[in-house]
Amino acid sequence: MSQVRALIVDDSSVMRKIVERSLRQAGLDLSSVIEAGNGADALGLLDTHPVDLILSDINMPVMDGLEFVRQIQTVEKLRGIPVVMITTEGSESNVVQALSLGAKGYIRKPFTPDQVKEHVLPVLGL
């Protein structure tokens, strides 16, 4: 399995660590992991840090995950990066909205490492 550069966006530092651990448990070989506490900070990081995968919460201060996904789709060099939402906002309308905005997957909190594997590997073509 090739190395993956991941961006994890969540306003909870604990959850960012759990997501990273779950990615490793899923078998991903992470060459780098960068973190942001909201969508705006994440967009700033993406200017200078290319990544292969983004996992993002929805409910965050400053810029929420849905706006973050929307913004990504407006930037040509970012548009192709797969985004998987990981959030407590797991209602059907949020899922539909996130996918329509360009997200490639959706994981509801609480989640198991197996669920992360099930939803993340396919968007990477693994």
Partner 1 sequence: MTTFSECSLPSAIFDRLTWTPLLELSAREVFDIMLGTNLRILGSPADAKDGEFTALVGLAGSLCGVLSIRCTNQAARIMAGKMLDMPPEEVDSDSWDALGEIANMIAGNFKGKLSGVGNHCMLSVPTIIVGTDYQSRSITGGNLIEVIFDFEQKPLWVTLELHE
Q: Nearest distance from residue 70's CB to partner 1, in Å? A: 14
**Residues of span 27-56 touching partner 1 by CB under 8 A:** none
Helix (H, G, I), strand (E, B) or coil at 61: coil
List, in order, residues 6 or more apart from 17 with CB less than 8 Å away: none
Examine residue 110 and tell whether it contacts partner 1 (CB under 8 A): yes
Examine residue 109 and tell whether it contacts partner 1 (CB under 8 A): yes
Q: Using CA atoms, how far apart are residues 98 and 30, in angstroms rounded to an integer?
A: 25
Examine residue 61 and tell whether it contacts partner 1 (CB under 8 A): yes
Q: Are 20 and 33 in contact (CB under 8 A)?
A: yes
Q: Which residues bind partner 1 (CB under 8 A)?
A: 11-15, 17-18, 21, 59-61, 87-94, 108-112
